[in-house]
Structure 1
Amino acid sequence: MIRKFFSYLIPIKIFKKKSTRSKMIEVTWANGELVLDTENTNYSYGSLQRILRYGLRNIGYDKILEMEHILLLGVAGGSVVKTLVNEIEYKEKITGVEIDPDMIEIANQYFNLNQIKQLKVVIDDAFEFVLKTKEKYDLIIIDIFEDTHMPNFLFEKFFVDRICTILKDDGFVLFNTMILDEAHNVRNRKYVTEVNPKFFQTKMLPRIEVHNELIIINKVA
């Protein structure tokens, strides 16, 4: 494909749509791959896929292959789903929660997300879903952004406690955060201190991208 070839020289935008939730959604050929972006940040594939792959590798692919149910809060184009299914060869259930139906429509059209049979997509607010769910999960991936903004509820103790409650013993939380200023650094460090060390091990991974920091929580069995 000629656009794919030229994308190694210059990004080639092939789709653009206004969304009520995400403002502007764009699909672009960049460095030979399709990526999903909003106005100011990468949402799926590209650098974001590298970041979450790094987090999954830190948890351990062997451990992930033994899991029965993974919850993804924030689906966007589904790049982490593709990493789980195509690279790690994870075979079990994945539930993806996405608030923006426009995002899922684009993910299906350009990234074939609807062809992944083990994935169930729920259009819902992540906060509401986490309150309602009766399931427990082996891995909860939190990857929620509104362009460059992260909703405040993600860092509130009530939400952290609820996430930890729906996690199985020896389960993991992989939380992708955005750091744009010192206040965000302080926010992340406060977040880590609020996870009960008696029942959970928490670590922040060294950054591989300037503005993203991954936090991993492990529920000690």
Structure 2
Amino acid sequence: MSFLKKYFSYLNVIPVRTYESVHSGRLEINWLNGKKILDTKNTNYSYGNLGKVLKKALKHTETDFISKDQSVLILGLGGGDVIKQLRNNFKSQAHITAIEIDPVIIEIAFNEFDIIPNSQLEIINNDAYLFLKYTQEKYDIIIVDLFNDTQIPEFVFQNEFIKRIHQTLNLNGTAIFNTFILNDTDEIKNQKFLNRLQNSFLVQSFKKVYSHNHLIITQKTR
């Protein structure tokens, strides 16, 4: 049956199953273009265009992904797309910590996409803001991919969150922010966000990545 779904998914989206979440609403597992993906009502969460966006972001960093000594913090697990990319495409042996507020998302990552914790992968069911506020750990890479459907939590854009990202990064570490620009209001918000980031980081900005995504890649240089 999976083979047939994979084949016909090149012609159209093939629904597989749905999950209901208090945090994320209706979550859909679909086949599209020969791949199983995770969607919300209005956007792709993992393994579709979002995966391409994150792959582009990782390619634009100057980080040594291969070293076992590297540590990666992912805020927003989704279906675990970025974890698979780090392991498979970038051959990373880094220790990865993924923070996800939604236990249903963690269940989906485990059951649908084989994202299974081990000695090099820790998955924590926690609020990303609270985790950053209290953690004493330091990381070489932080990937901020926090969405509720097409909405990004407001705290991501605030100075306190930027300060905590800076404090949690090692010197010369990289923080990647995946954001959306859907309208003029988002455009203004993201420009203010860029200005705040530039007070603390060296910043690269990539707009209209696969349509509406706005990638921001920062490096802690001081």
Quote the offset at 1:215 in angstroms.
0.5
Distance (Å, rounded) in 2 between the aligned partners of 1:137 and 1:59 = 15
Match of 1:42 among 27, 41, 44: 44
Q: Is residue 2:190 matched to residue 1:169?
A: no
- Corresponding residue of 2:5: 3
- Corresponding residue of 2:146: 144
Match of 1:84 among 74, 83, 86: 86
Letter in 2 for 1:11: V
Distance (Å, rounded) in 1 between the aligned partners of 2:6 and 2:192 = 43
Letter in 1 for 2:210: E
Quote the offset at 1:118 in angstroms.
1.6
Per the alignment, in what secondary structure is the counterpart of residue 168 of structure 1?
Answer: strand
Per the alignment, in what secondary structure is the counterpart of residue 207 of structure 1?
Answer: strand
Distance (Å, rounded) in 2 between the aligned partners of 1:151 and 1:58 = 25
Distance (Å, rounded) in 1 between the aligned partners of 2:58 and 2:201 = 18
Letter in 1 for 2:191: R
1:181-200 residue pairs with structure 2 within 5 A?
181-197=183-199, 200=201
Q: Is residue 2:66 matched to residue 1:70?
A: no
Deviations 1:62-109 (A, max 9, x none): 622246100000001000000001111101200000000001101111
Quote the offset at 1:25 in angstroms.
0.6
TM-score (norm 1): 0.95
Letter in 2 for 1:179: I
Distance (Å, rounded) in 1 between the aligned partners of 2:119 and 2:180 = 31
- Corresponding residue of 2:221: 220
Deviations 1:142-201 (A, max 9, x none): 00100111110000111111111111000000000011111111111111111254x520
Q: Is the 8 A contact 2:65 2:93 kept in 1?
A: no
Per the alignment, in what secondary structure is the counterpart of residue 195 of structure 1?
Answer: helix
Per the alignment, in what secondary structure is the counterpart of residue 116 of structure 2?
Answer: helix
Distance (Å, rounded) in 1 between the aligned partners of 2:42 and 2:118 = 28
Q: Is residue 2:42 matched to residue 1:19?
A: no
TM-score (norm 2): 0.95
Unaligned 5+ residue runs, structure 1?
none
- Number of equivalent positions: 219
- Corresponding residue of 2:100: 98
Q: Which is further off, 170-179 or 186-195?
A: 186-195
Q: Which is further off, 78-87 or 108-117?
A: 108-117
Q: Which is further off, 79-88 or 113-122?
A: 113-122
Unaligned 5+ residue runs, structure 2?
none
Deviations 1:116-150 (A, max 9, x none): 65210000000000001110110000001001111
Q: CA RMSD in A?
A: 1.4
Work out the percentage of aligned pairs sharing the same amino acid. Answer: 38
Quote the offset at 1:208 in angstroms.
2.4
Quote the offset at 1:18 in angstroms.
1.1
Distance (Å, rounded) in 2 between the aligned partners of 1:91 and 1:15 = 32
Per the alignment, in what secondary structure is the counterpart of residue 180 of structure 1?
Answer: coil
Per the alignment, in what secondary structure is the counterpart of residue 214 of structure 1?
Answer: strand
Q: Is residue 2:35 matched to residue 1:33?
A: yes
